[in-house]
Amino acid sequence: MDLSPFKKDIDDLIDEFAQKRLLKFADMKRVWLSRKFSFIYEGRPNKKNTSIFMQGLYAHCIGHLVSTGSLSQKLGGLYCLYCLYEIQPFKPFFKIYMSVGEMKRLKDLVIDAKQNGVEVAAALVKLMLEKNSFLFGSVNIADDSAAKSVEEITKTNEERVQSAQEKLFADSRINHYLHMDLGAELDLENYKKMSTDYAQHKKLAIQEAGKTVDMSDLKQIAEDDHHAIKNLDDIVEQWDARKNLFYIKTGISRNEVISSEDFDKELELMLFGAEGEGSEQ
């Protein structure tokens, strides 16, 4: 909801009151009527968000009331706040949300007004208190303060989330398995070298033994060991193929961190997807 036009109308009203250095409530009534200010409620943009609309107007008046401006500007904020509350067309009335800090500033304004001979300020505040017009809270919702608070809270939350992610995935087993090079993990190249060396030594041993032993007895021992290496190569190739398929289906890059929530499901798909597809067919 864009309240900018309404806030500008309030600013213009209070500025006219303050520029003339007026202090009395009767003077505000004259400025109010000259501007036909009661029509401000006729143009509210969204009738479904009336509470937001009202609190937005109230908060803008309170911003003038607690400002560091002149006494006329502060009193103009108080008078405008009172009038907006009294002429609102809603039943029951929307109460004026005011923080404890703003209430203290209102008290200071009443004291300042009394010292300058403006007794009506105290009378208006007393009347509003008797009517239970205020809703007291601990948060200041004035425009600038609210925007700054939201920005600070958002920044703090983002920093906490980032910190949590760094701690969670600092030594993540999930990403270890996701990005693991199975060939390197099994030290496949070293295993191949060892197997080749072993096969050569075994061949020499069999040749020497064949001089004194029947070769038919050594048939099983002499079988080629290359099928073991081939099986490992096949396993590594299948792992890499499944991993690449996982990257394609999920859109996750090779260096990207994934959440533990999706890992079990996706890992199962990567390892056993082909079997599941075969059973469905």
Low-confidence winner among 55-69, 97-111, 219-233 (lowest mean pLDDT): 219-233
Sorted by where each begins, the domain ranges of the chain are: 4-149, 173-274
Dihedral of CA atoms 209, 210, 216, 217 in degrees, nearest 10, equals -10
Q: In this predicted structure, what is the pLDDT of residue 212?
A: 58
pLDDT for residue 49 is more than 50: yes
Q: 244 CB contacts (<8 Å, ≥6 apart)?
A: none
Six-digit token pair at 263?
């890992």
Residue 257 exposed, middle or buried by CB count within 10 Å (0-12, 13-18, 19+): middle
Q: For the residues 215-241, what does the mean pLDDT come to?
A: 62
**Count of other CB atoms within 10 angstroms of residue 180:** 13
Neighbours of 158 (CB within 10 A): 10
Contact between 2 and 8 (Cβ < 8 Å)? no
- 88-113 burial: b if 16+ Cβ within 10 Å, else e: beeeeebbbbbbeebbeebeebbeeb
Kindly state the tokens that stand for 212: 């004194």
pLDDT of 145 strictly over 90: no
Give yes or no for residue 57 having a pLDDT over 90: yes
- Burial of residue 156 (CB within 10 Å: 0-12, 13-18, 19+) is exposed
CA atoms of 5 and 134, how far apart (whole Å): 25
Q: Residue 205 pLDDT > 90, yes or no? A: no
By CB neighbour count within 10 A (0-12 exposed, 13-18 middle, 19+ buried), where does 178 fall? Answer: buried
65 band by pLDDT with thresholds 50, 70 and 90: very high
Task: Give 185 or 39, the one with higher predicted confidence.
Answer: 39
How far is CA 29 from each of CA 14, 22, 40, rounded to the nearest angstrom? 11, 11, 15
Amino acid in the structure at residue 172? S
pLDDT at 203: 66
pTM for the predicted model, two decimal places? 0.52
Q: 137 - beta bridge partners?
A: 99
Q: How many residues does the chain have?
A: 281
Distance of alpha carbon 125 from alpha carbon 106, whole angstroms: 9
